[in-house]
Amino acid sequence: MTAYPRLLAPLDLGHVTLKNRVLMGSMHTGLEETGDWNRVAEFYAARARGGVALMVTGGMAPNPEGGIRPGAAGLYSTQDIADHRIVTSRVHDAGGLIAMQVLHAGRYALGPDCVAPSAVKSPISPFAPTALDEAGIETQIADIVTAAARAREAGYDGVEIMGSEGYFINQFLVRHTNKREDRWGGSYENRMRLALDVVRRARAAVGDDFIVIYRLSVIDLVPDGSTFDEVIQLARAVEAAGASIINTGIGWHEARIPTIATSVPRAAFVWVTRKLMGKVGIPVIASNRINTPQVAEDVLASGAADMVGMARPFLADADFVAKAVAGRADTIAPCIACNQACLDHTFSGRISTCLVNPRACYETELPIEKATNPRRIAVVGAGPAGLAAAITAAGRGHAVTLFDRDSRIGGQLNMARAIPGKEEFHGLVAWYETMVAETGVALRLGRAAGVDDLADFDEVIVATGVVPRDPEIPGQDGPHVVGYADLLSGRVEAGRRVAIVGAGGIGFDVAEYLVHDGRSPTVDLEAWKREWGVGDPSETRGGLTPEGPAPEPPARAVTLLQRKDERLGKRLGKSTGWIHRAALRMKGVEMVAGVNYERIDARGLHVSFGEERANPRLIEADTIVLCAGQQSERGLADALAAAGRAAHVIGGADVAAELDAKRAIDQGVRLAAML
């Protein structure tokens, strides 16, 4: 008997039966744009082998003006169709089903030729769109329909028509972006016309035995967005127009409310999808921050949806469903919703991968095969780099011993998990614990390994991590000055007024830790909704509360400082930096850039500004926390070198500047794949 009876139940769509209730949602990985169709095919085939019922590709542009950026992949020519056939046939050989997403970006297209219902520029694009005339609208509809027909020709099992997230079709639906007064604007009937024409004509073009998913925005999270009555009206009309499934979309890309970041509670928006249940006869899919089989099962059991959509969890682990079927959910590499290697890569024009699983989208380039010559390998340091190296090497058949002077594994991951909003790191450490046991890694914890301990190993991997950089501020030896590690480990308590020296990833994390009183809104959905101003779209348009964000008062008065004269948090993740900045602003954290640290005394931190050290200011503080970056911990590496022992040095012990878990894990996996 499975623990996930609803998740693993088949779903009959009439002409085809899905083998379970899991949809792999669309992700723009950048793979299609590489032109390496074998690589694209292997990415999807691996997930098909992993048991997911139905996958949706990244968004394919119906025409150049609708592409998310110049050069975005689409299906324009017979060559394109032949390329996509490589993917569909490989997926079918693997026993999977795949639908192609048709994505017209409208005013979100990052190019001067972008088009939209009205010439209303998006706040997240530098380009103002051209308002379409009647003929232009017909061209766009015809192109979307043609793309759907080509998808069928290319062997896809269906299409997903992207009608949410604030893209082209969504732009017609709401007055926020549709100011037209002709038959495409004004009344809701008129604003729906484009969406319904697209679905009706696409259905006519592809025939009855083809899946047509319509992605429908159930909560826009932008001013003047849809009401829920309009959502229901649209859903019913979309069903009547021929859609087979409604996939729900949450929030426009320009929304100032996080929808998928790690600080968003798990399954935070399924209550909105639940409101659609019973209003239509076709299956409804819930999505956003669903990342374990149990969360997914609970969503289905609560009656919130007929299927669940998960996207990033399939980057973290291609075998998500197969492992759930096997009753081994504990071995599923967890998506921690960090966005660091997926969305942040997409936004910077790089191929997506996964912080937890560097093989994602590199399936053909980073094979992990059984070792031909199993050896004894010592890994010193059980942080992310060492753990990744140890389980990868052991999984390949090497005999691996993992040392750490701490009594538990995790290294810096244990600090991350102390931060409110970063609870997903608990799951990541738990997964490493499982995989250490599963792959047979021998653990030696609670004792620093020296050169002599490593004598009997064929290979030594040094992953000793980092030590905090000393900022050398006069007076920093005072009793009220603490390092971030002491604070986050709970060894010391901060006072009511705190100054933080350094505003990198850890400075921001420490500020987040300090403004909370131990309660995290991420594990309290109602508190989180209040904090960000998420209301009910049945009561307010777009689901924004009239009063806006209403966070709990901060637990402490916090000042965050850096020496660089630039906006604080500028270098944080592309897709998440704004969330960290907004969250701290809401808590009244003062952010001060361009400082010189003059001295610390009993009253607090004295700073000045500029080369002339002008405008002296005292930041009154009961506690001063040092978060001034890291330096490599190379004691063991140097001792091994002095003893003439070769070693591989990885992670923070190799390079501390700008170190993060993504690079550490990537380096660990790649090294272990080669040994």
Which of ligand SF4, ligand NAP, none does 336 bind, CB closer than 5 to 8 A by kind? ligand SF4
User: What would the two tokens of residue 537 be?
Assistant: 């779209």
- Of ligand SF4, ligand NAP, none, which one does residue 251 interact with (CB within 5 to 8 Å by kind)? none
Extract the runs of DSSP E, i.e. beta strands, from 576-667.
590-592, 595-601, 604-609, 614-620, 623-626, 630-632, 648-649
Would you say 106 or 573 has its CB closer to ligand NAP? 573
341 binds, among ligand SF4, ligand NAP, none (CB under 5 to 8 A by kind): ligand SF4
The backbone torsions φ and ψ at residue 351, rounded to the nearest 5 degrees and listed phi first, read -70, 135
* Partner interacting with residue 564 (select from ligand NAP, ligand SF4, none; CB below 5-8 Å by kind): ligand NAP
**Which C-beta is closer to ligand NAP: that of 299 or that of 659?**
659
Q: Which residues bind ligand SF4 (CB under 6 A)?
A: 312, 315-316, 335-342, 354-356
Shortest distance (Å) from residue 588 CB to ligand NAP: 20
Residue 367's Cβ-count burial label (10 Å; 0-12, 13-18, 19+) is exposed
CA dist., res. 577 & res. 454, Å (int): 41
Buried b (16+ CB within 10 A) or exposed e, 570-598: eebbebbbebbbbbbebbebebbbebbbb
Please state the closest distance from residue 300 (CB atom) to ligand NAP, in A: 32
Q: x/- contact string, 583-622, with ligand NAP (CB under 6 A)? A: ----------------------------------------
- Spatial distance between the Cα atoms of 369 and 396, rounded to a whole number of angstroms: 6
Q: Per DSSP, what are the bridge partners of residue 285?
A: 247, 307
The amino acid at residue 646 is A
d(CA 224, CA 536): 13
Among 250, 488, 506, 584, which residue interacts with ligand NAP (rule: CB under 6 A)? Answer: 506
Site membership for ligand NAP, residue 658 (CB under 6 A): yes
Closest CB to ligand NAP among 540 and 631? 631
Q: Which stretch binds ligand NAP (CB under 6 A): 170-178, 436-444, 522-530, 557-565?
A: 557-565
Tokens of 418: 């102390």
> Any bridge partners for residue 599, and if so which?
606
356 binds, among ligand NAP, ligand SF4, none (CB under 5 to 8 A by kind): ligand SF4
- The footprint of ligand NAP on residues 273-312 (CB under 6 A) is none
- The active-site residue out of 44, 108, 156, 167 is 167
Nearest distance from residue 203's CB to ligand SF4, in Å? Answer: 33
Terminal C-alpha separation, the chain: 40
Q: Which amino acid is at 576?
A: T
Instruction: Say what the alpha-carbon torsion angle 223, 106, 570, 464 is, to the nearest 10 degrees.
Output: 110
Site for ligand NAP in 332-391 (CB under 6 A): none
> Of ligand SF4, ligand NAP, none, which one does residue 562 interact with (CB within 5 to 8 Å by kind)?
ligand NAP
Q: What is the C-alpha to C-alpha distance for residues 285 and 397, in angstroms, rounded to an integer? A: 41
Binder of ligand NAP out of 83, 509, 654, 666 (CB under 6 A): 509
Residue 484 among the catalytic residues:
no
Which of ligand NAP, ligand SF4, none interacts with 660 (beta carbon under 5 to 8 A by kind)?
Answer: ligand NAP
Residue 59 bridge partners (DSSP): 101
Looking at the Cβ atoms of 24 and 561, the one nearer to ligand SF4 is: 24
The minimum distance between CB 293 and ligand SF4, in angstroms, equals: 16
Binding to ligand NAP (CB under 6 A): which residues in 621-640? 627-630
| DSSP annotation string for 61-130 | BSSGGGSSSTT--B--SHHHHHHHHHHHHHHHHTT--EEEEE---GGGSSSTT-EESS----TT-SPPPE
Site for ligand NAP in 462-501 (CB under 6 A): 469, 471, 501
Total residues contacting ligand NAP (rule CB under 6 A)? 21
Nearer to ligand SF4, 184 or 320 (CB): 320
Residues lying near ligand NAP in the complex (CB under 6 A) are found at 469, 471, 501-507, 509, 562-564, 573, 627-630, 658-660
Residues with a catalytic annotation lie at 167
